[in-house]
Chains A and B, each alone.
Chain A
Amino acid sequence: MNCKKAKLLLSAYLDKELGDEEKSQALNHLNICPDCAKELGYLKKIKEILSYGTPAAENPAGLPFFETRLSARIREINSRAFSYADFTPVARKVALAGSFLMLFFTGIVLLNTYSTYSSNNNLTTEDYLLQSTSGSVEKKVFVESKISEDDVISLAMASDGGDRD
């Protein structure tokens, strides 16, 4: 057995985890290889230092009432925590009511816009002139071409004259 393989076995030998056959192989190598024997000595020393006065047995179950204190902390965290289970039904109702209201108001707005649009379509030029500014009058006139530009000028002049009176 070479040192490389022996060193792999030494680790398990140190932990008493070798089977009989591997153990005798390791021992045979240790008898003829002082370097590997020293290596094992070093590993043993580290293990001894680490296991010196191990405090693990001091309080293996913790302080008294470990579970009770833990349960109290869990309850406290749960009471502060945001609960989806509680939140979901309320959120669903609010969302439903909100959607309904939004649809209702959208309907009202659309209805209003449609009624304004349809009433504008039925306007005569005369009504339109009475309701609108001079700028929009010109637009209406040119778009619809129901009256001539001269008519518009004369209407405008007549309107200006009326204002002066």
Chain B
Amino acid sequence: MDQDLLLVKAAQANDDGAFEQLVTRYKTGIFKIIYSVIGQPLGAREADDIAQEVFLKVYSHIGSFKFKSAFSTWLYRIAYNECISHLKRKKDKFISLDSILGEDESLKLQDVLRDKSLGIENAEAVKELQSLIRAAINSLPEKFALVLTLVELDNMSYAEAAQIMDISVNKLKVWLFRARGKLKKILQPVYNAYWGEHELQKSKTTVVSLS
């Protein structure tokens, strides 16, 4: 952290070498965020372009960084916002699941939910559903979307995510709980299908056990 502080101060004093060290230090994390938020299909060139834009923004605005939060928090926020802007430019906006899920898609959804190990036979359907869930996450208010991205998509620990978001672990737990609740509302058809499938399985089990 102290190393960050020194590098940022040097970068603010127009030390390009210090800025380059910051880039090397954080680029892997930034690429992880980009892939997590945008998801598939995202080519290496596209991800690279977004990462370059992120660091150009950081370079342009590093003078305005006031050390009120950790540098990583500030950087990851810029990266996250750049990803959202990228999605908006691509007009990859989230549309209500009800309007997307036709009869075929609903059947695919049932298959995915029934498939306990998410096998290769449902790979295409899983990927489609994955894109929908990513879009649903990105449609949440920023703090909820970011907390879900870091924990669900980047598989970060609560401590790591809390540090990036500059909040306590307890607050992160509450935000995550609320974020999952909001996501559930958006994904109501998936939730209903899951429950329907669950009830179906249960009744089958009951019938089998009775017979």
Residues of A within 8 A of B (CB): 7-8, 11-12, 15, 17, 38, 41-43, 45-56, 58-63, 66-67, 69-71, 73-74, 77
Contact = CB atoms under 8 A, between A and B. Distances in A.
A8 B176 CA distance: 9
A50 B24 CA distance: 28
B23 A41 contact: no
Contact of B24 (A53, A55, A56, A67): A67
A99 B123 CA distance: 75
A38 B27 contact: no
Q: Which of B23, B157, B180 has the most CB of A within 10 A?
A: B180
A48 B119 CA distance: 11
Contacts of B174: 8
B105 interface: no
B84 interface: no
Interface string B161-202: 000000000000110110010011001001100110010000
B177 A56 contact: no
B52 A61 contact: no
A37 to B, nearest CB: 10
A42 B44 CA distance: 32
B31 interface: yes
B154 interface: yes
B16 A71 contact: yes
30 contacts: A8-B173, A15-B158, A15-B176, A43-B180, A45-B194, A46-B152, A48-B118, A49-B112, A49-B129, A49-B133, A50-B130, A50-B153, A52-B126, A52-B130, A53-B123, A53-B127, A55-B35, A56-B154, A59-B47, A59-B48, A60-B28, A62-B31, A63-B44, A67-B20, A67-B23, A70-B55, A70-B56, A74-B56, A77-B56, A77-B60
Contacts of A50: 130, 133-134, 152-153
Residues of A contacting B: mostly = helix
Contact of B27 (A45, A51, A58, A66): A66
B88 interface: no
Contact of B173 (A12, A59, A62, A67): A12
Contacts of B35: 54-56, 58
A61 B27 contact: yes
Interface string B4-31: 0000000000001000100110011001
A55 B52 CA distance: 19
Nearest to B20: A67
- Interface size, B (range): 35 or more
A42 B32 contact: no
Given A49-B112, A56-B32, A63-B45, A69 B52 contact: yes
B155 interface: yes
Contacts of A69: 52
B56 A45 contact: no
Given A56-B32, A66-B27, A49 B118 contact: yes
A38 to B, nearest CB: 6
Contacts of A66: 23, 27, 48, 51-52
Contacts of B155: 51
A69 B113 CA distance: 44
A67 B108 CA distance: 43
